[in-house]
Structure 1
Amino acid sequence: MLDGYAQVMTIPHNVKYADLFVKLQREAREGDHGLWGSGGQHSQDQGQAAHTVPAGAAGKGPGPHGETIKGNINSKGEKIYHVPGGRYYDKANLEAWFFTEEDAQAAGYRRSKV
């Protein structure tokens, strides 16, 4: 049964099942299950940030599901996200993909300073 009460987070080198988890998360989101119920958003009172996929976002970016924002963890352990056109976007060591800056921030990432 697909309940949809988990959000994928990958931490290198622990990525053996990442593709499966991303697939299941996508199915839950598309089926409005769990966190993605109520029209693609879940309640703020559940202690989670709202997660939405912008209309038409799928397939628009280089991420596995069309995401465009890259998240990485630097050598100091800081979670930083990079937007297309940013100075380090092409050089960032990928830890996660995001559709929106809000999604990245909800996952604890901050925007790159350059």
Structure 2
Amino acid sequence: MKLLSERGIPLSSMRNALLVAACAVSCASTSASAGQVLTGKASVVDGDTIEIRGESIRFNGIDAPESTQLCLDAKGKQYRCGSATAKALAAFLEKSSPTSCDFVDRDRYGRYVGNCWRADGTSVQEWLVAHGLALDWERYSGGAYAKLQQKARSQKSGMWSGTFENPWEWRANKQTSAVAAPIAQLPAEGNGGCLIKGNVSAKGERIYHVPGQEHYSRTAISESKGERWFCTEGEAASAGWRPAAR
């Protein structure tokens, strides 16, 4: 068997090929610290977070509604704006793959924070803000997406067609409600470890509340009235309960 060098392949090319192969295994984990671009097929985690080759990436300078966050559309009807953003993002990235992200920082959760682009060069953050699916988070962006946001707002694109709470404020309010909840009103024994409260209102409406929502802590469950606990929101929805407005 002839050696590669005997077949006319330069040794320098052989070394380069070996380095590339080695990097394919190890560079993914060191790309952030090295300031390299992370490229690959993106999996959507939520409206402002994706995963590439096992690395969780938070988009820099923008904030999208959380997956359980509710917004009101132009007709005043509730919808899951966070889920809508995630779904739109997945379709957007699928049309031009792979996705590339430049490292900016690590957030407090250890996630890679980056500026990301599709294969065709379209900025992911700019697209999300321009379509009213995410907001310019001035605290981290310095207002980089303010003009795009103003245009989306004037055109009533995405969330701007209705009403919504800023994602960072929604998270803060949810955390405050959870901390302030009296211990006696938190889920008691006998709920099987399920935390979602299926309540029947005075008008007979079946409404479920998840931990952290405004009325969660003061909502009591009376099984004799047909009220019950649910383990997942899907289970509650399938049983005929609708999500609480806040």
Structure richer in strand, relative to its length: 2
Choose between structure 1 and 2 for higher RCO, CA contacts under 8 A separated by at least 6 residues: 1
Query: Structure 1-normalised TM-score?
Result: 0.44
Query: Structure 2-normalised TM-score?
Result: 0.21
